[in-house]
Amino acid sequence: MITATSCWSCWAKTPQPNRQSPSKQTPRSCPSPPRGWADPMSIVEPTQIWWTVEELANSGLPELPGSKPGINALAQRFGWRVIEGCAKRKVGRGGGWIYHWSVLPLAARRKLLVDASEALNERPDRGNAWAAFDSLPETAKTKARTRLAALQMADGLHQSGVTHVHAVAEAARQCGSSARSIYNWIGMVEGVAPEDRLAYLVPRNRLAVRKPIKATCNRAFMDYLKSLYLRLEQPTYAQCYRDACAKARHEGWDVPTNKTAKRRLDTEVPRITQVFAREGEGGLMRCFPAQIRDRSTLTALEGVNADCHKIDVFVRWPDGTINRPQIVAFQDLYSGKMLSWRVDNDPNKVMVMAAFGELVETWGIPRHCLFDNGREFANKWMTGGAPTRFRFKMRDDDPLGVLPMMGIKIHWATPAHGQAKPIERGFRDFASSLAKDPRFKGAYTGNRPDAKPENYGSRAVPLDTFLKVVSEGIAEHNARQGRLSATARGRSFDETFAESYAAAPIRKATEDQRRLWLMGQEVGKLNKNSGQFQLYGNFYHSNWMSEHAGDRVVARFDPEDLHSGVHIYAVDGSHLGFAECQQKVGFFDVTGAKEEARRKRRIKKAQKELLNANRPLSIEDIAADMDARAPDLLTQLEAKVVKPVFSKKPVSVPRHQVTSDPAVVEARKAFENRVEQRKKSDPKPKAVGRFQPASTPRARFQDAKDIIAKSDAGKRVGSGEADWLRSYIELPEYRGFQKVEQFAKRDDAG
């Protein structure tokens, strides 16, 4: 510690406890400091001020005996106990005397001062000091700020003309500390820049490095306990501890307490490792936040994503089969709108190709497609020739798929990972609203085996009814107001898509490109003599094929009508010509033939009778009312900016212009009239200022609930409200109120 006075003469006049006798006192009129005196601010005190007899005997300081009787004899000879303020009784067990360091022999005092100076020189640099300050709790930082304020007060008083001693005394009185504490704090910041003093004034006990005291644990016991606990079966820790204790009793191991073993396990095995060992890769991925990708930089139809979803409704197909149908849908990445969809018994490449064809026919050609690597998407019809496919065997002579030939870039998402495909959010709406439509009464299966309704299996919906309800549900899904995505901002998916679609450059398909997605493909060789091509028992030939006899070609055909003929392409993708079916073996549906072998009949025989008591309206009446109130599906939008894309390879077949259909023109005019009437009856609300949330936490939470309820009800949500809600639900305030509300509901239900 460092003490300071204004000058040597003042220090000499101040009563000091290290004066051994009156004869050794420094004269008051000493004009100059003693030898070795440099500056009052450089006076150093040892770290330990008071010493017991036993500590002095074991200290090894020069000119001190090494035994307790020797120390007692030295104290009696020099009269340490009679010097005022230099000796006092020890408090606590054993009693005895403790002595001030100033009564020790000169050599011993020099040794203590040298050790204190070396400790002072070991002060950390400013970077480490501030790093240590930042890691301390707020209580320690508050103490450091109090000390700095006291030193600043003392410096201010001293600079105003007050002596340093009186300035320190006044600062000590003001801050409620002793003058000795002020001098100690001055020593702690000696030579430190004023702007860095705060970091050096923290309590030293908080900076001391303490080695944690660990209870002894048998290594074999801990290894056995960790092997039991870190399993995918996720046994409880209590059970693992009991089994480990049983093993320890058999082997004679030392057994730590339950809590000690758990602390040691948590210390040795990181939490993420425990989650991975007990929950697998799924749990490991949940330990890290999901990637957030910004879709606001896209435009309408710039990118689409697609996936399959099994709807939880029993459907009766025309052939009598009853099962849960699969729907494949293409969704616009920018707006979230469902652009096209198809339904079938099981996922297959034909339904994917048909849905993609509807997408291109109705809206245009996207630039990017996001799929997972399911067989229905990674098939050679769609993605053949793509360099990053990981399905099916790849051959050098594989024909190009539809997407590579149209210049669409393919992206593969992580399988079974819903966060990688935004369309999974739309399928969640289908599972909660569309599958539970009143017209599906008795056909809903539940989304889990343990969530089956009481009327499970009592009815199967006809296919035509199912398709009608799905069409209405997807149209309502796209037109629902109050969407909270970053691009919708309170609008519907239809409005969001239409705004960007009208200004974005849309690529339209040519007549030659249209053949690509309307047909499947098969690779084969033409007959080496006649050039005839055989496919599924049918023979195809045209006169021009004789010139290409024996060539390897790609045949594109309608999978549901093999008798309509095939288009023959070279392996490089160039169109050679059309070949008619010469020998008709009989109608053959290749799609049905492949799927029939894997299809299982699942027909429920027993039906449970439901009681309709306490229901003011029957479910049939509600379904009929919904059919009566069902809105007409809106006519598809037309692109304002069209950018045609032509095949990279030259084609031999001339392009044909499609004449305008009068029925289509009439339907478009009717749609425009309805849009104008809707604008007059329900004009878009005027823009208002940015949404201002409430000033209190409870009111802000209520605002968030009101906006979410408005969105769920399909009402329009302002862009300011949507922006504020997206940022507010990430705050701890919202999550805290939400948990409190959940606990309250749980208590009420209990």
> Which pLDDT score is estimated for 149?
92
Q: What is the CATH number of the domain that holds 464?
A: 3.30.420.10
CA count, 13 A, side-chain hemisphere, 331? 26
Residue 601 lies in a domain: no
Identity of the residue numbered 154: A
Residue 630 lies in a domain: no
The ranges of the chain with pLDDT < 70 are: 1-45, 91-94, 116-123, 205-216, 290-292, 373-374, 379-400, 415-419, 512-520, 560, 583-626, 629-690, 749-750
Domain total of the chain: 6
**176: domain range?**
126-207
> Which pLDDT score is estimated for 588?
43
Cα-based distances in Å from 183 to 145, 164, 172, 377, 416: 16, 11, 10, 79, 68
Q: Rounded to an integer, what distance in angstroms lies between the CA atom of residue 661 and that of residue 391? A: 42
Three-state secondary structure call for residue 540: strand
Residue 593 lies in a domain: no
> Which pLDDT score is estimated for 475?
92
Identity of the residue numbered 141: K
> Which pLDDT score is estimated for 460?
92
Which backbone phi and psi does 706 adopt, to 5 degrees? -65, -40
Residue 666 lies in a domain: no
- At 99-116, the pLDDT tens digits run 888 889 988 888 888 876
- At 380-422, the pLDDT tens digits run 666 665 555 555 565 555 656 777 777 888 888 776 666 678 8
Q: Do 332 and 480 fall within a single domain?
A: yes
> Which pLDDT score is estimated for 648?
47
Q: What is the CATH number of the domain that holds 85?
A: 1.10.10.10
Nearest to 183 by CA among 301, 310, 43: 43
Region of 320 (left: φ > 0; alpha: ψ -120 to 50; beta: rest) is left
Q: Do 454 and 371 fall within a single domain?
A: yes
Q: Do 113 and 136 fall within a single domain?
A: no
- Percent of the chain at pLDDT > 90 equals 12
Residue 262 lies in a domain: yes
Q: Do 107 and 137 fall within a single domain?
A: no
Q: Do 263 and 366 fall within a single domain?
A: no
Given the structure tokens 């430190």, which residue do they identify?
192
Beta-carbon neighbour count of residue 201 at 10 Å? 24
Q: Are 68 and 53 in contact (CB under 8 A)?
A: yes
Q: Do 151 and 76 fall within a single domain?
A: no
> Which pLDDT score is estimated for 216?
64
Residue 595 lies in a domain: no
Q: Which of 148, 177, 207 is the last residue of a domain?
A: 207
Q: Do 309 and 259 fall within a single domain?
A: no
- At 369-378, the pLDDT tens digits run 888 766 777 7
Identity of the residue numbered 462: P
Report which secondary-structure segment, H or E, holds 570: strand 566-570
Three-state secondary structure call for residue 706: helix
Q: Rounded to an integer, what distance in angstroms lies between the CA atom of residue 183 and that of residue 254? A: 52
Q: Which of 67, 93, 120 is the last residue of a domain?
A: 120
Q: Are 647 and 512 in contact (CB under 8 A)?
A: yes
Residue 490 lies in a domain: yes
- Residue 138: which residues within 8 A CB-CB, separation 6 or more? none
Given the structure tokens 């293409």, which residue do they identify?
330
Q: Do 423 and 492 fall within a single domain?
A: yes
Q: Which of 120, 154, 182 is the last residue of a domain?
A: 120
> Which pLDDT score is estimated for 419?
67
Determine how β-strand 338-344 pairs with β-strand 326-332. Answer: antiparallel
Residue 173 lies in a domain: yes
Q: Do 464 and 560 fall within a single domain?
A: no
Q: Do 370 and 386 fall within a single domain?
A: yes
Q: Do 56 and 160 fall within a single domain?
A: no
> Which pLDDT score is estimated for 82?
85
Q: What is the CATH number of the domain that holds 136?
A: 1.10.10.60
Q: Do 436 and 316 fall within a single domain?
A: yes
pTM of the model: 0.51
Nearest to 97 by CA among 55, 66, 62, 45: 55
